Amino acid sequence: MRAGSRERQDVPALDLRVLADRRLHDGLRVLIHEVLRLRHLLEHREDSGLVLGQERHARAVVIAVNGSASVPVEASSVGRPGQEVGEGGGHSRSVPKGYVLDHSPELPLGARIGGSYHGTVPQTLSEIRELLASHGLSPRHALGQNFLIDHNLLRRLVDESGVGADDLVLEVGPGTGTLTEELLGRGCEVIACELDRGLAGLLRERLGVHPRFSLVEGDCLDGKRALSGALASVLAGRPFTLVANLPYGCATPLMLTLLVDHPECRAMFVTIQREVADRLAACPGSKAYGPLAVLASLLARVRTVATLGPECFWPRPEVTSAMVAVERKSDAPSLRALADFSQRLFSQRRKQIGSVLGRDFPWPEGVRPTDRAESLPPELVLEMFHAEVVRSGSGRVA
């Protein structure tokens, strides 16, 4: 269709989803998404007075395939890949090769057609390899980089989270952006935090102009007890959900920090090492039971969604992973002091707690100084914490 055309064009009755499942060039894959979007506009928005090339709401789309731009609407507001977009259109962003720039907020990438979701096509293993190779990159074991390549599990992670249009999502360790694209395709605002400088550059090139995408380059944590200042600044205290294939090294400290210090984090839907998942859901008396299980039980509801074998990732990790949902309780406290007390209590988990806290500790009913921390249920740990607060003269903390 020519730019600026006011004449409706019939869209061939072609099942583009079949094409989209093939290993196509990245630019062609984006083109397919755009045709799906335009088909939706023709079929479902005619009653709003929409005529392609003459929308009531400003819209600019650039599709770059093999370095050339195809402009299906409003040529006056778009440009070639790499060219500044702005003359006559009020935009001032550089359009990268293979990227769709869409300023129509009402119909995000991945429109719902016929009542079901047919959104982005997750990157295949070949595409991930090609993306990395084209930027001179490779997976870094030291940073725990194992890319989730099972498309069904990737979509299930997002489905379980329930996030959708206008929801704020934090993604830590976005890698090449396949989960990011799925989230954006569902209308989410995504704040991605990437430590790897090379991958951050790749993400900036692919998604940097997207109006609902923000990238924080650097560590997600400041030490192991607080979010980084840059990340906290972008989140700005707004309610959000963590949806991520977490790098193994940051999973425990990040989840603990969000649980304890950030009540605005309403839930976490993540893939993590199964060992960490076991520690999150551990029961008293088990080997995995510790401060993480105590805090998770007191502050949230934890469930394992799926177990993921090494074949679900590339490169294959040496351990089994798990997909976990951690949903904050509505009445959950936010207490760093409780976390510190739990860490202290379990620092010598096999010692009698009287030796850890002192024989003069004001023991709650049902707790004896000869007990061991690993045998105490979370509720008793919370009562002991309250007793410690009273003993210190700070008053009871709810």
The residue assigned the tokens 């351990």 is: 319
Among 118, 121, 120, CA closest to 40: 118
Q: Is residue 320 part of a domain?
A: yes
Cα–Cα distance, 171 to 168 (Å, whole number): 10
pLDDT score at 170: 98
Residue-wise pLDDT tens digits, 28-65 = 555 555 565 555 545 544 433 333 333 323 333 333 33
pLDDT score at 330: 82
Q: Is residue 207 part of a domain?
A: yes
Q: Are residues 207 and 297 in the same domain?
A: yes
pLDDT tier for residue 93 given thresholds of 50, 70 and 90: very low
Q: Are residues 275 and 203 in the same domain?
A: yes
Q: Are residues 62 and 149 in the same domain?
A: no
DSSP H helical ranges for the chain: 16-20, 26-44, 125-134, 151-161, 178-185, 197-207, 229-235, 251-261, 274-280, 291-299, 336-346, 353-357, 378-392
pLDDT greater than 70 at residue 336: yes
The residue assigned the tokens 């409003």 is: 74
Cα–Cα distance, 268 to 304 (Å, whole number): 12
Structural domains counted in the chain? 3
Residue-wise pLDDT tens digits, 123-144 = 999 999 999 999 999 999 999 8
Q: Is residue 5 part of a domain?
A: no
pLDDT score at 337: 83
Q: Are residues 289 and 355 in the same domain?
A: no
Domain at 205, CATH number: 3.40.50.150
Name the domain boundary from 59, 92, 117: 117
Q: Is residue 313 part of a domain?
A: yes
pLDDT score at 90: 38
Q: Are residues 148 and 78 in the same domain?
A: no
Q: Are residues 223 and 239 in the same domain?
A: yes
Residue-wise pLDDT tens digits, 292-335 = 999 999 999 999 999 999 999 999 999 999 999 999 998 765 57
Domain at 361, CATH number: 1.10.8
Cα–Cα distance, 108 to 221 (Å, whole number): 31
Name the domain boundary from 309, 333, 357: 333
pTM of the entire predicted model: 0.67
3-state helix, strand, coil in the chain (%, to 5): 35, 20, 45
What number is the average pLDDT over the span 284-289? Answer: 92
Q: Are residues 178 and 59 in the same domain?
A: no
Amino acid at 192: A
Q: Are residues 174 and 294 in the same domain?
A: yes
Q: Is residue 398 part of a domain?
A: no
Range of the domain at 357: 338-392
